[in-house]
């Protein structure tokens, strides 16, 4: 069996389980944070599921681009919503350092075209990553430290960029390679979002 199918199946199963767990916790704890995260997990999983079904049924990746990418993009909107929730009722302090970090993340996304050559998709992801980086580093200025969720989020964003860069060096997707190592690490980093959010909830504004 192609490792591409194994990797994507692993991600679908893991994220589906995390989405279900986050939904259950959201209703049991009346937690907006868990509910938003559940939608983020579900969106990411649906993008991967579309890609996986295409591989299994047709034997190759999707030829109609940006269907899976739209779902992955939606997941980052939910992750951004989680960060905005932290600032609810507050105003992030202006920080040249945070602004520079946001510009760097946005610039790298545009330069390497993480979600493909479409200016619309690359631009949307660049703005989202830029906003996430800005808010994370604004929180660093406010709290003098990064929250656990923000550390995991910045790491996951970096892995998403690295995943696309690694894909440029892969010719055989049927065998294990650096690309799959990065993708598995990305999946596990996404998993870490939930315990980190639960760890922060007593201090969250919800």
Tell me what pLDDT residue 1 has: 63
pLDDT of residue 65: 62
Helix axes 119-143, 96-112, angle to 10 degrees: 150
Residue with tokens 């079904």: 53
Q: Where does residue 16 rank: exposed (0-12), middle (13-18), buried (19+ CB within 10 A)?
A: middle
- The one-character DSSP state at 174 is T
CB atoms within 10 A of CB 126: 23
Tokens 């939930």 correspond to what residue?
194
pLDDT value of residue 143: 82
Give the pLDDT of residue 205. 40
pLDDT (tens digit, 0 to 9) for every residue of the chain, 206 residues total? Answer: 689 999 999 999 999 999 999 999 999 999 999 999 999 999 999 999 999 998 898 877 666 667 888 999 999 999 999 999 988 767 777 889 999 999 999 999 999 988 877 788 889 999 999 999 999 999 888 888 899 999 999 999 999 999 999 988 877 878 889 999 999 999 999 999 999 999 887 544 43
Map residue 2 onto helix, strand or coil: coil
Buried/exposed 63-84: b ≥16 CB within 10 Å, e otherwise: eeeeebbbbbbbbbebbbebbe
Note the pLDDT of residue 124: 93
């Amino acid at each position: 069996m192609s490792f591409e199918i194994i990797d994507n199946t692993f991600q679908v199963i893991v994220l589906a389980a995390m989405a279900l767990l986050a939904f259950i916790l959201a209703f049991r704890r009346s937690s907006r944070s868990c509910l938003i995260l559940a939608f983020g997990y579900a969106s990411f999983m649906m993008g991967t599921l579309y890609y996986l079904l295409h591989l299994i049924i047709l034997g190759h990746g999707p030829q109609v681009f940006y269907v899976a990418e739209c779902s992955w993009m939606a997941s980052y909107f939910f992750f951004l919503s989680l960060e905005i929730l932290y600032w609810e009722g507050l105003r992030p302090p202006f920080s040249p350092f945070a602004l520079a970090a946001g510009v760097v993340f946005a610039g790298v996304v545009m330069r390497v075209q993480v979600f493909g050559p479409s200016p619309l998709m690359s631009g949307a992801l660049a703005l989202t990553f830029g906003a996430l980086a800005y808010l994370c580093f604004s929180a660093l200025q406010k709290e003098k430290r990064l929250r656990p969720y923000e550390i995991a989020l910045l790491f996951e964003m970096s892995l998403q960029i690295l995943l696309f860069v690694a894909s440029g060096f892969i010719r055989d997707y049927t065998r294990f390679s650096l690309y799959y190592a990065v993708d598995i690490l990305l999946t596990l980093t996404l998993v870490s979002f939930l315990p980190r959010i639960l760890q922060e909830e007593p201090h969250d504004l919800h």
